[in-house]
Amino acid sequence: MTGDGRHSGREESIRKLLRTIDENRVEQVDLKFVSLLGRWHHVTLPVGRLDASLFESGLGFDGSSVAGYDKGHTSDMTMIPDPDTGMLDPFWDRPTMSLICDIYRMDGQPYRRDPRGVAVRAEEFLRSTGIADAAMMSPEFEFYLFDSVRHRCAVEACSYEIDSEEAEWNSDRSDLRGTPLPLRGGYHALPPQDRLYLLRSEMVRLIEACGIPVKYHHHEGGGSGQAEIEILFYPLLRAGDITMTIKYMIRMAADRAGKTATFMPKPLWNAAGNGMHIHQHLFLRGRPLFWDEKGWASLSELALYYIGGLLHHSPALLGLTNPSTNSYKRLVPGFEAPVNRIYGLANRSAAIRIPAAGNTPETKRMEFRPPDATCNIYLSMAGMMMAGLDGIRNRIDPREAGYGPYDQKLAEIPESQRKKLKTLPLSLRAALDALEKDHAFLLEGGVFDEDLIEGWIELKRKELADVQTRPHPREIALYFDT
């Protein structure tokens, strides 16, 4: 180890963490790490096993059992906890400290397929360009809270059934009080129709107890139990850690309350879907780079080039930000989810919306609306930042490319213009094909590499085949009597 400031800062973080563990009489230490697919895994140690050496040597594990990690003789790996991610977990019966880990090979080298490592390298690359030194991100959390979900997928049967006490299909139940919410009529609903208020408030309490300030929470448009929680801005890596933590908190709080939470993009047919819109902007030495009072919507030229890069690479990006077959049941015309590669001021039908509320240098930002929570958040945010940087470095002007601005609703755009609009991929296959063809911008600075992208596409094509080769219940109704 070197004696640089970064190392001394880590040593101080370790000392602070150990003091917190001692003061709270922690009994268990839970180590979490993320798979390539974006799901947390964990292993738990008695607190006596935790000392300063664990932050150097880590804990060994079998990477071949983790989705997207190496198989065979290269699969022995090490997880090393990041002391800055310590969090007292409120869901354990015994006092437990949760830590997020980075993944290393047994030779001490960072594992290139570790998604958190991609986010680390993305921030390092950003600083190396001299363009900015901070990419600030703020994901929105949309999810459904259901009372039950049952599903079966076998050789001879395929079915699912979901229930929510708020749903209009329960309007004739004698054990429920009042009038249910319409299927798409839940936006900012008031109690008693909003039956989730207390549970959302408890979720917010738990999230804030972990040191994560919440902007607000409310009932979302889906009348069958849809909710939304929004947070403030954080640097890219920290935003990724916070996203994983909040999803965990929401699921666990729902489970404790006898419900189940899902971030699935489209769990209900013909109802509002769950997106994960991601607000973002760049800073250099504390100075906001997206603001220009004289520019269109008070956006700087640099911000427009960032938008140009995002929209130029958006077909490939959707291979990371919308990487499930279910994603493309949300990205359909007729709902707020965008299907066109356009940008506009306060335009919710555009892939990139410029929030009208961002009317100061510090709050001026853009919102990329296609993503959903089936993504690996670290890869998605790193990919978006890399696309935006590519737009800045190559001066990709969204106005010249025909991406806008379009400030009116899609239906208000003249039909002759609508026909010329470029669209986003409308299937997972199309998005993966685009990512396969267009990913050189992700390789800049060694942030991503070919092996990771190939491994990601391989996993996702297997998911695609798994869904596409199965008979669908609706096909029985349409074709059984052929």
Q: Would you name the residues annotated as active-site residues?
A: 62, 140, 142, 220, 228, 277, 348, 367, 369
Contact (Cβ atoms closer than 8 angstroms) between residue 67 and residue 36: yes
Q: What is the DSSP letter of 298?
A: G
Contact (Cβ atoms closer than 8 angstroms) between residue 216 and residue 227: no
φ/ψ of 337, rounded to 5, equals -60, 130
At 216, which helix (H) or strand (E)?
Answer: strand 214-219
Contact (Cβ atoms closer than 8 angstroms) between residue 286 and residue 338: no
**C-alpha Rg value of the chain to the nearest Å:** 23
For residue 190 the two structure tokens come to 């008031």
Number of H helices, E strands in the chain: 14, 18
Question: Rounded to an integer, what is the distance from CA 112 to the centroid of its chain?
Answer: 20
For residue 277 the two structure tokens come to 């819109």
E-strand ranges in 332-432 read 340-345, 350-354, 366-368
Q: How far apart are CA 71 and CA 456, in angstroms?
A: 15
Please choose, from the candidates 399, 293, 406, the residue with its C-alpha nearest in 3D space to the C-alpha of residue 354. 406
Longest Cα–Cα distance in the chain: 75
